Amino acid sequence: MGQKLLMKGNEVIAEAAIRAGCRHYFGYPITPQTEIMHYMAKKMPLVGGVFLQAESEVAAINMVYGAASTGKRVMTSSSSPGISLKQEGISYIAGAQLPAVIVNIMRGGPGLGGIQPSQSDYFQATKGGGHGDYRMVVLAPAGVQELYEMTVEAFNISDRYRIMTMILGDGVLGQMMEVVNFRDEEKIEKFDKSWAANGHENAREHNMITSIHLDPAVLEQWNVGFQNKYKLISQNEQRYELYNCEDAEIILVAYGSVSRICKGVIKEAAEQGITLGLVRPVTLFPFPVDAFEKVINTPKAFLTVEMSAGQMVEDVKLTVNGRKPVYFTGRMGGMIPTVNNIMTKVLEIKDNHR
Amino acid sequence: MAIVYKAPDALCDVPMHYCPGCTHGIAHRLVAEAIDELEIEGKTIGVSPVGCAYNNYLYFNCDMIQAAHGRAPAVATGVKRSLPENIVFTYQGDGDLAAIGTAEIVHAAARSENITVIFINNTIYGMTSGQMAPTTLLGQVTTTTPYGRDASYSGFPIRVSEMLATLEGPAYIERVSLHDIKNIKKAKAAVKKAFKVQIAGKGFSLVEILSTCPTNWGLNPVESLKRIEKEMIPHYPLGVFVGADLEV
């Protein structure tokens, strides 16, 4: 039967995590994601789980490191400046190959920036942020229903590959209310956790969770293993939506809440006799290169739209690799691109490619 | 024949990397003996620091987790909150615990996390070659205080045990020393008591162990032990700061 509720994005993330079997949450307050904490504070004690307000984002991510080391499903959440503070722990979690889920409800930066929505942490999420050659899976939901489904999925992906998965949303998604359809029961996959540091009970050798390997030849081999894992994830986990791409003159590329504005643009353009399509990356890492291969021959050009100075557009250019022109338009600092902003750019591109 | 002396089971049979005359080895042994005597190796999870003891996950036979610099109390919090029935300890030096990890240790103590902290105070950063630590004594020469620590420029040494004892959270805090047999025995009792406090669910326990660093002090092992007694103890008095009457 399921359950149909009107809920705020941030609360849905928290509810989804609990439904996915997460019983450990460590956080620190920061706008615009704090409702995740509030929800966890209220609900975790009712399900026998742990909600703990840490003394800092640094401490929170290290509590995640500790809980993940025991093999438990664990989550933290924050917003841009707080995610910067967590980068040390994120790098260690990557190095120690621990499964964990981290939520970034992005706000405008750099520095303390503002509290309005932004997508300017794309580089940080997909290219590193912390030190070392590591990646994490980055999921980009575009609505409250997807916040629910992808949060559940994030835990399964993390456990499947022993990797950190980030839910990369923005202030719009975190704060908006929409209807969400909850399933009666989640598909919680079972995974081997024999690597966990949970007390050997004198029944096995002692387990060691570490990210340090002072012998460079050994450390290189660990890195080779990481890269092989990331390659496997790239093969298996690319997700994307193709919308109205069949006869598109120009294909828009956008993720998250911007992709919804782009759907409005597509409708507006159709009324003016212009056919636009949309490639919506749902996984930002792995970047959905397959989506572009499917549509590469269709449009005259691609137009990437972001709430940033242009970050994902670099991956679009790498993927398109000179086969078609790639344009960019965006707003920064918490400003949201309007249908008019984007249409102006569309008309300019159309002019260039008569 | 009866065995009168053997290596503790909770220590792995591997060579340690510590310098000659360093008292880390003794501190490790005391922790391992406590784990053996309390028969808790199978359910103990240790957290290694950054510093000279960074890889003591190879030395302790229980499950071990290596933490980022100063973050061991936060990592241990995550472990203990996940596995409240298990025994969780951190092993941290003075750079790790009293400088970069100050926030984490203070708040773990304030929350009275039911963990045990083994805190090695040797008044210097060992691993990175002898820089000033928060615990470095006034006048002490280090690679970053080559003219001696000057309070007007580098501030004053921190007495961690006394500072944490001002909080309501901790159940047991004691400072001990490894400079002679009598004190090693007292240290052993303190370490064991700290674990017993945790087993009894009383809350946060910390044992500060005054320790040597012959290599970076530029002293031989015997002189180093004397330095603890003559120079460190006057500034870092031994004793129980919290939980003197606590029976466990």
Tell me the ipTM for this assembly.
0.97
In angstroms, the separation between the Cα of residue B109 and the nearest Cα of chain A is 12
Asked whether residue A205 falls in the same domain as residue A115, the answer is yes
* CB atoms B42 and A203 under 8 Å: yes
Q: How much is the pLDDT for B79?
A: 98
Q: How much is the pLDDT for B166?
A: 98
**Tens digit of pLDDT for each residue in B35-85?**
999 999 999 999 999 999 999 999 999 999 999 999 999 999 999 999 999
| Interchain CB contact of B11 with A (< 8 Å) | no
* CB atoms B44 and A199 under 8 Å: yes
pLDDT band (50, 70, 90) for residue A189: confident
What's the average model confidence in pLDDT over A75-87? Answer: 98
In angstroms, the separation between the Cα of residue A227 and the nearest Cα of chain B is 22
Four-residue CA torsion sign, B168, A67, A206, B103: negative
**Tens digit of pLDDT for each residue in A36-70?**
999 999 999 999 999 999 999 999 999 999 999 99
Asked whether residue A169 falls in the same domain as residue A298, the answer is no
Q: Cα(B42)–Cα(A189) distance, rounded to whole angstroms?
A: 28
Q: How much is the pLDDT for A188?
A: 85
Residue appearing with tokens 């039967």: A1
Q: How much is the pLDDT for A100?
A: 98
What's the average model confidence in pLDDT over B87-93? Answer: 98
Contacts of A65 in chain B (CB under 8 A): 65, 67-68, 71, 74-75, 78
| Interchain CB contact of B57 with A (< 8 Å) | yes
pLDDT band (50, 70, 90) for residue A354: confident
Name the closest residue on chain B to residue A210, using Cα atoms. B66
Residue type, B99: A
Name the closest residue on chain A to residue B109, using Cα atoms. A55
Kindly report the pTM of this predicted structure. Answer: 0.97
**Mean of all residue pLDDT scores within chain A:** 97
**End of a domain among A208, A236, A264?**
A236
Contacts of B62 in chain A (CB under 8 A): 199-200, 206
For the domain made up of B24-242, the CATH class stated in words is: alpha beta
Asked whether residue A86 falls in the same domain as residue A109, the answer is yes
Asked whether residue A230 falls in the same domain as residue A245, the answer is no
* CB atoms B82 and A210 under 8 Å: no
**Tens digit of pLDDT for each residue in A271-302?**
999 999 999 999 999 999 999 999 999 999 99
Asked whether residue A289 falls in the same domain as residue A230, the answer is no
In angstroms, the separation between the Cα of residue B245 and the nearest Cα of chain A is 30
What's the average model confidence in pLDDT over A247-275? Answer: 98
Query: Which of B71, B105, B199 to mutate against chain A (most A CBs within 10 Å)?
Result: B71
Asked whether residue A297 falls in the same domain as residue A345, the answer is yes
Q: Cα(B216)–Cα(A323) distance, rounded to whole angstroms?
A: 61
- The CATH number given to whatever domain includes residue A333 is 3.40.50.920
Q: Spell out the domain ranges in chain B.
A: 24-242
Helix (H) or strand (E) holding B107, with range, is helix B102-110
Q: How much is the pLDDT for B5?
A: 87
- The CATH number given to whatever domain includes residue A80 is 3.40.50.970
Beta bridge partners of A283: A139
Contacts of B77 in chain A (CB under 8 A): 52, 59, 63, 66
Asked whether residue A306 falls in the same domain as residue A209, the answer is no
Q: How much is the pLDDT for B114?
A: 98
Q: Cα(A346)–Cα(A269) distance, rounded to whole angstroms?
A: 9
**Tens digit of pLDDT for each residue in B180-199?**
999 999 999 999 999 999 99
Asked whether residue A73 falls in the same domain as residue A181, the answer is yes
Residues constituting chain B:
248
Chains A–B, number of C-beta pairs less than 8 Å apart: 135
Q: Cα(A100)–Cα(A78) distance, rounded to whole angstroms?
A: 14
Nearest to A206 among B63, B71, B107 (CB): B63
**End of a domain among A188, A220, A236?**
A236
Judge residue B154's burial from the number of C-beta atoms within 10 Å of its C-beta, 0-12 exposed, 13-18 middle, 19 or more buried.
Answer: middle
**End of a domain among A236, A267, A302?**
A236
Residues of chain A with pLDDT > 90, as a percent, come to 97
Contacts of A212 in chain B (CB under 8 A): 54-55, 66
Residues of chain B with pLDDT > 70, as a percent, come to 100
pLDDT at B2 over 90: no
**Domain span at A307:** 240-352
Whole-number Cα distances in Å, B199 to A178, B44, B84, B89: 48, 11, 10, 11
| Interchain CB contact of B55 with A (< 8 Å) | yes
The closest of B67, B105, B198 to A64, measured between CA atoms, is B67
Asked whether residue A38 falls in the same domain as residue A72, the answer is yes
What's the average model confidence in pLDDT over B227-244? Answer: 98
Contacts of B197 (CB under 8 A, 6+ apart): B116, B171, B172, B203, B205, B243, B246, B248
| Interchain CB contact of B107 with A (< 8 Å) | yes
Asked whether residue A171 falls in the same domain as residue A88, the answer is yes
Asked whether residue A166 falls in the same domain as residue A194, the answer is yes
* CB atoms A210 and B66 under 8 Å: yes
Q: Tally the domains of chain A.
A: 2
Asked whether residue A54 falls in the same domain as residue A177, the answer is yes
pLDDT at B1 over 80: no
pLDDT at A1 over 80: no
